[in-house]
Structure 1
Amino acid sequence: MDNPARTTILRLMTTDTTYDSDILVIGGGLNGSCMALAAAQGGLTVTVIDTLSGETRADPAFDGRSYALAVTSQRMLAALNLWQGLADHAQPMQQIKVTDGRVGDSAAFLGLSFDAAEMADGPMGYMVEDRHLRAALLDALAATPGITHRTSATVVAQSTDTTGACVTLSTGETLRARLLIGADGRQSGTATRAGIRRTGWTYRQSALVCAIAHEKPHNGIAHQLFLPPGPLAILPLTENRSAIVWTETTDMAQRINALPEEDYLKVLRPRFGDFLGAISLAGARYTYPLGLTLANALTAPRLALVGDAAHGVHPIAGQGLNAGLRDIAALAHVLTHAIRRGEDFASPQVLDRYAAWRRFDTATLALATDVFNRLFSNDNPLLRGLRDLGMRMVNATPDMRRAVMREAAGLSGDLPDLMRG
């Protein structure tokens, strides 16, 4: 039996040649909002379809979530006129220290140490809290001509033809545009409705996420500890606080997250010692399962995927949001350059350029995070010896160390316009 919503879409697409906007962005989170701003800066009109209400998006409470922004991501936010309002809330990362150890191992090997002083591009990155980034994006969406932000709206059907895309909302309303962009997360309905399959697996791990206030200053140093159950990241925030992303087996993570606050801290404290002095929880704490998921295609007729809708990777390197922003910068670059040449910016030929640009990078990131997680999330003596030897070699070779730093900062490869600074 035909889907009534799809039938309505097909009828409208064959009889109505008008467009509500140039682009429909499905998903109102960080990636969807940045995509809208990047497209609008290129002269395109955009409608953002957001399942959450405006009040939920604008909640100013600190919930413990924060993001590590690479240098190129910071450049992009500056190019989108967002950084001026974020700079006072951003904590520069001046050093990154990597340790391979065990819980209670006071003599754990300090495997790698990266210092921003070795780079000519300033800090190695910045930590920004989710609440500040969300607020800046919401303000920019509201202030940018050509952007319509539809909140509390759900897409129930979509279709495309040779001239555009059309979606039906849960209200029965239909919207039409030249291009549809899916920025709706790992369970992307946009991808599913387009028939794009996914490849991936779970790690039987979950991330415990929280923020802590601490007695001693962090001095802008980020720490990555590799423990047998999984990595533990301690990432500096403003106001003498740090973000914690802590990986355990899924069963253990659920048990730990259910503990009272003091018992939770008793489990956390011995995992990284007392170098920050006394600690306490700041904000909420939560847990989410970890896995790898890749869309088998980044594009379809009149459709492109960005962010977690295109690829969801292990947080071991903190590159999830950075990879999404790189998608957005690349897609905006391709679209705006096509417009300057007088091309149909949503044609298969143009979208193929985006897919070709991002396909290798996303596959490489997925492979790297998967291999690193499997290599380090164990206490096998042979593997531990090999990885410690590898880290010593990188640490002792300045050229290799700088190459790793530039890769982490997003400075390697062909950069889109928005990330060039």
Structure 2
Amino acid sequence: MSAATGMEGPRIVIAGGGLAGLSLALALKKALGDGIGVVMCDPALRRDPHGDKRSYAIAAAARRMLTALGTWDQIADKAQPILDMVITDSRLQDPVRPTFLTFAGEVDGHEPFAHMITAGDLTAALLEACRENGVDLRPEGVKGFAVQGAHTEIALANGESLPASLLVAADGARSRLREQAGIGWISWPYNQSGIVATIAHERDHEGRAVEHFLPSGPFAILPLKPELQADGNLRHRSSIVWTERADNVPALLDSAPDDLLVELERRFGLQLGKIAFETRPQAFPLSFGVARSFVGERLALLGDAAHVIHPIAGQGLNLGLHDAAALAEIITDALRLGMDPGAADVLDQYERARRADITAMGLMTDGLNRLFSNDVLPVRLIRDLGLGLVDRMPGLKRFFIREAAGLRADEAPRLLRGEAL
């Protein structure tokens, strides 16, 4: 034990117990075992994770990562593969929504390009795996930190002080740790909110995802695993991500349940029969944001603390899991070479590994939202022509589906290729 730091070997502290932080913690312990101490700090660890009914699309690369970490088998029966995808572009009042673009849902070897799963199920599986692998889970928040040469001293909300080689800020888009480190944040609002809910419907979705591009923003219908009811019948379910102009949202959510259901039906359509809200709709303001640097002195930003993008492509969580895969690999390789995981040259590798990918995804989603969230006739004609051309080009469609699956480059982190660290 170092007298200067009070640590036995390197210690990584992760502030924030979301899916990216949990994945990083598990990846480090699976790779290094007792060779590293991993502490996760978050007051949310006191809550039952199954209470989180939000749903996420897990891209194929992220699923390979979860398989390599040994958690996918625990949740595979709760995950719904996306078997195909349909894209339409219309006005809300149009009687017909023509299909402009379709995608088969498979990539290499008939692997689904994405699965839908609830956040609660995935969080519970990762938490259990973290406990089994020796992650120190502490239901305390991180108040701040002070770098002291070869370590950083981390102040917890309960008054405890914890030395660490590296602090990972995974504390969300409004990261206090990022602010304390003096790292700038470039952002702009979209004047849109995302309304999310789980919908029950009469007919089977058959694994199809649908995205309607409407003037106020995209409306996505994402298939969820059916639930077996007490009477032996299946309850068919989907998740919606309803993008709406921000000034319309309060009136929508404050309206009577039957009135809100009518507004939902106008967007959802009748293809799945009678529909009903299974969970209470919740709205979240949408914005773009990216940190000027993903690292500071003995500090690395992870997930939403580093970047926030529009949900139009469903890539927000997958970007965070990519962060976790990259940072876990860099830390693991550094420690195996006897290097300090919090040293500037090690953290610079993380900055270089993530900057281009995040910038490209942020610009793409920003551009798509600006292109499709309007009702300018010449723009509509051009974009619909473009969608139709893509639909007739199998090679280009394969490229886009691999992009959506996260299978973009051979130099992707090993975990995203399904390889152990």
TM-score (structure 1 length as normaliser): 0.93
Selected match of 2:412 from 398, 410, 415: 415
What SS does structure 2 have at the residue aligned with 1:225?
A: strand
- Deviation sequence 1:173-199 (CA, Å, 0-9, x none): 100110110111000111111111100
Q: Is the 8 A contact 1:330 1:416 kept in 2?
A: yes
Selected match of 1:228 from 212, 215, 227: 215
Selected match of 2:42 from 50, 57, 73: 50
- Deviation sequence 1:343-395 (CA, Å, 0-9, x none): 22221111111110100000111111111101100111011011111111111
**Corresponding position: 1:214 with 2:204:** no
Aligned to 1:95: 84
1:170 shift after superposition? 2.2
- Deviation sequence 1:256-298 (CA, Å, 0-9, x none): 1122322211101011310011001112221010001111100
1:313 shift after superposition? 0.6
Partners of 2:132 and 2:28 lie apart in 1 by 14
1:110 shift after superposition? 1.3
**Corresponding position: 1:291 with 2:261:** no
Partners of 1:362 and 1:139 lie apart in 2 by 30
1:245 shift after superposition? 0.4
Q: 1:276 to 1:166 in 2, by over 3 A?
A: same
Q: Is the 8 A contact 1:161 1:301 kept in 2?
A: no
Partners of 1:66 and 1:306 lie apart in 2 by 20
Q: Is the 8 A contact 1:62 1:283 kept in 2?
A: no
What SS does structure 1 have at the residue aligned with 2:76?
A: helix
Selected match of 1:357 from 339, 353, 356: 353
1:124 shift after superposition? 1.5
Give the alignment's Cα RMSD to 1 decimal: 1.6
Q: Is the 8 A contact 1:103 1:272 kept in 2?
A: no
Count of paired positions:
403
Q: 1:62 to 1:38 in 2, by over 3 A?
A: closer
Selected match of 2:116 from 106, 118, 127: 127
Q: 1:407 to 1:23 in 2, by over 3 A?
A: same
- Aligned pairs for 1:103-142 within 5 A: 103-117=92-106, 119-142=108-131
Aligned to 1:243: 239
Q: Which 4+ runs in 1 deviate beyond 6 A?
A: none
Aligned to 1:3: none
- Aligned pairs for 1:7-406 within 5 A: 16-19=4-7, 22-43=11-32, 44-54=36-46, 56=47, 58-61=48-51, 63=53, 65-117=54-106, 119-145=108-134, 147-151=135-139, 153-239=140-226, 240-406=236-402
Paired-residue identity, %: 41
What SS does structure 1 have at the residue aligned with 2:44?
A: coil
Q: 1:398 to 1:143 in 2, by over 3 A?
A: same
Q: Is the 8 A contact 1:162 1:302 kept in 2?
A: no
Partners of 1:61 and 1:19 lie apart in 2 by 36
Q: Is the 8 A contact 2:5 2:163 kept in 1?
A: no
1:339 shift after superposition? 2.0
Partners of 2:82 and 2:416 lie apart in 1 by 19
Q: Is the 8 A contact 1:298 1:355 kept in 2?
A: yes
Partners of 1:106 and 1:124 lie apart in 2 by 31
Q: Is the 8 A contact 1:161 1:302 kept in 2?
A: no
Aligned to 1:9: none
- Unaligned 5+ segments in structure 1 are 1-12
Q: Is the 8 A contact 1:90 1:237 kept in 2?
A: yes
What SS does structure 2 have at the residue aligned with 1:42?
A: helix
Partners of 1:382 and 1:159 lie apart in 2 by 55
Aligned to 2:232: none
1:241 shift after superposition? 0.3
Q: Is the 8 A contact 2:253 2:281 kept in 1?
A: yes
Aligned to 2:229: none
